[in-house]
Chain A
């Protein structure tokens, strides 16, 4: 099941390879079919998922069964390293409460991304090949339970992303692509070292061999006491935690490692922005929850405050930077930075409310930001500009678009009744309830006001009032005698067309539904989050030691 959902896009990619590049529509439809089937599989996994199982660590005796679900485990690479033993890399997939929601999110955003890619005109075949490779890599990251396998998927994401931005992007695309590539690569080099260190520090209780299994690594009793990253080597464990954290923080992205994101977003084509903000950023925080924190819980305990401070900086700094932007897409990019700060803050709280809020925020930010970037794409397609000041009074002429923008913007500013509110609310509830992060939470609430400020201000400048004199469109008299607007070089429908509605309506519905009744998604994660909180708690560590 999981293998299928991971490799389905690659299979579609192989089919595309056989299709002549002139058959653009077939290429698109094959990709869409793969994405839709992936979506169906995700729903099946969702239906079959038992939310009462904890995940994170193995059951007593090291068996992942009974804790993880949909497990697929095969030996993959075995290397004899002479007197150093043997290198055992497994093909090990499975889901728990941390990954199940991300699997659903990835399938959803990939599908919408394919729809959004319909407007790609240049080298369609190559585009969809890379797109499908990217979809596989993302899904693989979320379900891989072997660190090596995770690393392979993690690195595999870089390649298609590099080309998708570098070839199909905006004017400054090469700079943005290489910045993204090198920045992420910089983070993952250290991950490789830590991974090898962990391998030689952990014994799988089932086999007695060294292992890359993240499940085994998450239990502190599986560590060899005097190994390089064993409990006796406190210093190296700190170093390993920090470099791993930086690796993931780059992906989040966390201040001060965030500057690749606005560049990448501004240059990336709309569907790639959607994927980037909707899924890729979550890999950073997912990596923290899956790998960084449970593997080094005592270091996490010591760094909660610092992580919280960085979360608060992200929230407020991101909001202020967004307030100053003139380019709508850049504003949305900074709003992403701000909203990912909530995730960091929730994680730093290290209690169930905060971590659930953080994980739920990852899901909601995925859907809401996907919506925001799609909406930016809609107006960019028509007006060929994203300068906020080049608009004005759009609400009178594009009422459906304005309506959906209003929903998306208010979802982003955390309006109750929409999903983003619940996750942000519980992040604050958790962060305030934890004595470590209490004061950080009190400062971070400023983000609520400034978040509203930049969103409402942009809404006003673009949609309310009247057309500005230097607007990117003209006022003309329509066939019905009513005044309407005209974009240069745009022959499509003025307001949203069917394809755009097909992308946006599901996201709107999800945002509203999960804002009123969050349990379908939140219910999947609570058991796992509670267990994670236990694994990370000082009490638990005292028991182990």
Chain B
């Protein structure tokens, strides 16, 4: 076993150990065992950092890959298939190494942060236990080498998310949110599961590597449409987990969970798992599937950004911003900007974790006030939080010198390249929505920064209302009452902010602040060659057509067969290699669109900031009056496009209605038939019984009665008197004579 594999197994299992220790023994440990959680995660991060160092720094090879597996289930010699085993295993490549380091670092920082944020909570120890099982499941997703394993860990992160969203389960809204999150994810999961089933049914394996190999060899036995369906269905898993339209509704509600959880799970890692998964299966996505993905991503980015503009809750703004940014990543994968999407995944993880932890610090300092309308002026009271929050905001808004600038521009450049490669038209909608969303991102983040940190404190403006946060959180941090000084948080909450803010600066990823492509990241994560490209798959006729158009554009001819495609591999300036002409063309055009993208997005970001200044800093335009002026649009945004109401009225009401209907059907029709049969049988039995009693038995009784009666009559004749007998003889003779003479007459 490779030493990296051994290390990664330790990385995987250590957080599970933390969970097991803390779930059973936290009450018996000093400090409820938080040092165990933090310590174990520290060690886990150390090991991950070592793996990262070995893979990324020492090997520095885009094609690095180590794999290991073992037989999990042995089906024996299956008729029609032959020996069949289901394997589980680990694969470590550059993507894994980066994700491992990112996940464990953020998890460690969140553990550390939680020792401050969650201090004094009733279930303090259990919180760290849940964080442990979440980290375990998330690392499982990252390390898994097959679809079955990823599905297992996929649902397990769903469970951890469920447990953590509902951590304050006594609040009805938290209990609702956790159920909603799990069910929305399950809807996505059944799609993902069907996608897995399509691939398994053809190749009898779950391993990515083997599936890709079979696909590349053109062994997919079903039609091309099924392959596209498999891609879209697998993507449904991402739609659920990464909160893409139409399953995005759960993520904002998930903010019911404690804020460190929002940072770790619902911003940085778990929701990015969907994007990670699509990246893993990227090579089997057909162009048709990619269209769907790019449009879903673009629409999600746009829609969520429009909602973020009008929210008052500091966490809700960030939540919709997360949905929007995830939309960018999905858009990036859809358009084929593979490395840019993953780049954005990582940069977003750091700056969004920073933002959430920053907002947590604010909420903590403000005693569970989450409404930005009652904040303001915090830059003086919380300088550390202010600076780190601002750095992360710049990265999110995509200002130059930040990490987010590089990654977002790479995605937008990819979108332009994609639209050009597909021949424009409707495809320009994808970059268009992307740029509009960039504008809105700059706007809502400018609004947030201003409302929270600048101006004067508006705490006193808050209308008096029963504050249920205090009761629900049951925090006992020594600050009771409404009006008291707001202090900067302690070091254990400050340090994570500083580290995460530092990781939002360009220099970590690339020496050139304007071009992420020049850095180590884009070199290590390169677009893998598709295994379902036109050169590999599709019917000959279709293939010729596609081939010709591409050949005309690219100036080289396309020959069927994977090997041939590789011969025509095209090398770009950054050393990116594309085996597939479609990918090559998009890559080519994206590269050309790089400067264009920077320009447009810079203009958009500047516009957004200017708008924010106009509305909130200089107050040239009153936001409230504007809201009134465009009331329908404002309400649409404020009410989140009414998706919750729509789903409530259709899916949820519908399901419950069907349930009640079927239950009635069951009790009255199905069981009614059974009871009816029983009743009929009884009726028949009673009828039968009556027949038996009155007819059959009646005959018997009648016979007896007849014999009895006739006997009684007859016995009267036996008087024993001679006179009577003589009379009877005479009567008999008389009768006989009468008969005889009548016979003679006639």
B-contacting residues of A (Cβ < 8 Å)? 179, 182-183, 255-256, 258-260, 317, 320-321, 323-325, 351-353, 356, 393, 395-396, 410, 415-417, 421-422, 425, 428-429, 432-433, 438, 441-442, 445-446, 448-450, 452-453, 456-457, 460, 463-466, 517-519, 522-523, 526-527, 530, 533-534, 537
Contacts of B659 in A (CB 8 A): 320-321, 323-324
- Complex: A97 Cα to B538 Cα, angstroms: 44
Chain B residues near A449: list those with CB within 8 A: 183, 186-187, 190
Question: CB within 8 A of A179: which of B148, B197, B674?
Answer: B674
- Please tell me if B687 contacts chain A, counting CB pairs below 8 Å: no
- Expressed in whole angstroms, the Cα–Cα distance for A449 and B72 within the complex equals 27
Nearest 10 interchain pairs by C-beta: A324-B663, A416-B152, A464-B175, A323-B659, A432-B197, A259-B671, A324-B659, A433-B201, A352-B78, A526-B76
B92 nearest CB across to chain A (Å): 22
> With A and B bound together, what is the CA distance between A410 and B156 in angstroms?
11
Instruction: Verify if B220 is at the interface (C-beta below 8 Å from A).
Output: no
Residue of B nearest to A536 (CB): B79
5 pairs, CB–CB < 8 Å, chain A vs chain B:
A256-B670, A351-B80, A429-B201, A522-B73, A530-B77
Minimal Cβ-Cβ distance residue in B for A523: B74
Q: Is the CB of B75 within 8 A of A352?
A: yes
A317 to B662, CA, bound (A): 7
Contact A321 B198 (CB under 8 A): no
B624 at the interface (CB under 8 A from A): no
Query: Are B74's CB and A519's CB within 8 A?
Result: yes
Whether the pair A356, B663 counts as a contact (CB closer than 8 A) is no
Contact of B197 among A255, A256, A395, A441 (CB under 8 A): A441
Q: Give the contacts of B620-675 with A (CB-CB under 8 A).
A: 655-656, 658-660, 662-663, 666, 670-671, 673-674
Question: Which chain B residue lies CB-closest to A183?
Answer: B674
Q: Which residues of A contact B384 (CB under 8 A)?
A: none
Chain B interface (Cβ < 8 Å from any Cβ of A)? 72-81, 84, 148, 151-156, 159, 166, 169-172, 174-176, 179, 182-183, 186-187, 189-190, 193-194, 197-198, 200-201, 204, 655-656, 658-660, 662-663, 666, 670-671, 673-674, 678
Chain A proximity of B486: nearest CB distance (Å):
31
Q: Which of B84, B179, B197 has the most CB of A within 10 A?
A: B197
Docked pose: A495 CA to B339 CA in angstroms: 53
Least distance between B518 CB and chain A CB atoms (Å): 42
Contact between A464 and B170 (Cβ–Cβ < 8 Å)?
A: yes
Known: A452-B182, A526-B75. A324 touches B81 (CB 8 A): no
Contact pick for A534, options B79, B84, B187, CB 8 Å:
B79
Q: How far is the CA of A431 from the CA of B644 in the complex (A)?
A: 34
Report which residue of A255, A429, A463 has the largest number of chain B beta carbons within 10 angstroms of its beta carbon. A429
Of the listed residues B75, B176, B183, B189, the one surrounded by the most CB atoms of chain A closer than 10 A to its CB is B75
**How far, in whole Å, are A450 and B565 apart by their CA atoms in the complex?**
46
Given A453-B655, A464-B175: A432 in contact with B198 (beta carbons within 8 A): yes
CB of B79 within 8 A of CB of A533, answer yes
Interchain CB contact (< 8 A) of B182 among A416, A421, A456, A464: A456
Q: Contacts A526-B75, A530-B79 given: A452-B170 contact, CB under 8 Å?
A: no
Least distance between A317 CB and chain B CB atoms (Å): 6
Given contact pairs A179-B678, A425-B148, A527-B76, enumerate 18 new A-B contacts (beta carbons under 8 Å): A259-B670, A320-B663, A323-B655, A324-B656, A351-B79, A352-B78, A353-B84, A415-B155, A429-B197, A429-B200, A442-B194, A452-B183, A460-B176, A465-B171, A465-B175, A466-B172, A533-B79, A537-B80
- A393 to B118 alpha-carbon distance, docked (Å): 22
B432: min CB distance to chain A, Å:
35
B662 to chain A: which residues have CB within 8 Å?
317, 320-321, 324
Assembled-state Cα–Cα distance A62/B73 (Å): 32
Asked if B678 and A464 make an inter-chain contact with CB atoms under 8 angstroms apart, the answer reads: no
Candidates A258, A456, A465; contact of B172 at CB < 8 Å: A465
Given contacts A323-B656, A526-B74, contact A428 B197 (CB under 8 A): yes
In the docked arrangement, what's the CA distance between A353 and B76, Å?
Answer: 11
Cβ–Cβ < 8 Å partners of A356 in chain B? 75
Alpha-carbon separation in the docked complex, A534 to B79 (Å) = 6
- Residues in A with CB closer than 8 Å to B200 are 429, 432-433
Taking a contact as CB atoms under 8 Å apart, the answer to whether A259 and B152 are in contact is no
Q: Are the C-beta atoms of A325 and B183 separated by less than 8 Å?
A: no
CB distance from B455 to the nearest CB of A (A): 38
Given that A432-B197, A460-B175, A537-B79 are contacting pairs, would A448 and B169 also be in contact in the complex, using a CB cutoff of 8 Å? no
* Nearest-Cβ distance from residue B357 to partner chain A, whole angstroms: 27
Q: Give Cα A321 to B670, complex, Å.
A: 12
Q: Compute how far the CA of A526 lies from the CA of B73 in the bound complex, rounded to whole angstroms.
A: 10
Q: Report chain B residues within 8 Å CB of A259.
A: 666, 670-671, 674
A450 to chain B, nearest CB (A): 7
- Chain A residue numbers with a CB within 8 Å of B656 are 323-324
Chain A contacts of B80 at CB under 8 A?
351, 537
Contact call B75/A530, Cβ cutoff below 8 A: yes
Instruction: Assess A460 versus B179: contact at CB under 8 Å? Given A432-B201, A519-B74.
Output: yes
CA distance A415 to B152 in the complex (A): 8
B159 touches A415 (CB 8 A): yes
A396 CA to B122 CA, complexed, in Å: 10
From B154, B183, B189, A456 is in contact (CB under 8 Å) with B183
Bound form: Cα–Cα A351–B77 in Å: 12
Which residues of B sit under 8 angstroms from A179, Cβ to Cβ? 674, 678
CA distance A533 to B154 in the complex (A): 32
Contact of B79 among A352, A410, A452, A453 (CB under 8 A): A352
CA distance A327 to B502 in the complex (A): 56
**Distance A255 CA – B660 CA, assembled complex (angstroms):** 17
* Residues of A with C-beta under 8 A to B76: 352, 526-527, 530
Q: How far is the CA of A465 from the CA of B171 in the complex (A)?
A: 5
Asked whether B74 lies within 8 Å of A464 as measured between CB atoms, the reply is no
CA distance A396 to B175 in the complex (A): 13
**A417 vs B662: C-alpha distance when bound (angstroms):** 32
CB A501 to nearest CB in B, in angstroms, measures: 14
Q: Output the nearest chain A residue to B660 by Cβ-Cβ distance.
A: A324
When chains A and B are docked, how far (Å) is the Cα of A390 from the Cα of B370?
34
Q: Which residues of B contact A320 (CB under 8 A)?
A: 655, 658-659, 662-663
B670 to A: closest C-beta gap in Å: 5
The answer for the CA separation of A429 and B81 in the assembled complex, in Å, is 14
Closest chain-A Cβ to B236's Cβ sits at a distance in Å of 11
Q: How far is the CA of A148 from the CA of B76 in the complex (A)?
A: 33
Q: B172 contacts which chain A residues (CB < 8 A)? A: 464-466
Shortest Cβ distance from B30 into chain A, in angstroms?
21
Q: Roughly how many angstroms separate A428 CA and B201 CA in the complex, as a whole number?
A: 10
Cβ distance B508 to chain A, nearest Cβ, rounded Å: 35
Contact between chains at B73 and A518 (CB < 8 Å): yes
In the complex, are the beta carbons of A466 and B170 less than 8 A apart? Answer: yes
Question: Which residues of A have CB within 8 Å of B663?
Answer: 320-321, 323-325
The residue on B at minimum CB distance from A532 is B79
A415 to B156, CA, bound (A): 7
Q: For B666, what are the chain A residues with a Cβ–Cβ distance below 8 Å?
A: 259, 317, 321
With a cutoff of 8 Å between Cβ atoms, the chain A residues found around residue B156 in the complex are 415-417
Shortest distance from the beta carbon of B663 to any chain A beta carbon, whole Å: 4
A167–B368 alpha-carbon span in the complex (Å): 58
Q: How far is the CB of A274 from chain B (nearest CB, A)?
A: 23
Nearest-neighbour CB distance to chain A for B657, whole angstroms, equals 10
How far, in whole Å, are A258 and B153 apart by their CA atoms in the complex? 35
Nearest residue (CB) in A for B681 is A182
Partner of A465 from the list B75, B169, B182 (CB cut-off 8 Å) is B169
Residues of B within 8 A of A260 (CB): 674
Closest residue on chain A to residue B173 by CB atoms: A465
**Distance between B650 CB and nearest chain A CB, rounded to angstroms:** 15
Query: Which of A325, A393, A460, A463 has its CB near the most chain B CB atoms (within 10 A)?
Result: A460
Which single residue of chain A is at the shortest CB-CB distance from B176?
Answer: A460
Assess whether A416 is in contact with B155, with CB atoms less than 8 Å apart.
Answer: yes
Determine if A353 and B193 form an interchain contact, defined as CB atoms under 8 angstroms apart. Answer: no
CB-CB nearest in chain B for A442? B194
Q: Which of B78, B187, B656, B658: most chain A Cβ within 10 A?
A: B78
Assess the B79–A448 pair: CB atoms within 8 A: no
Chain B residue contacts of A463, Cβ below 8 A: 169
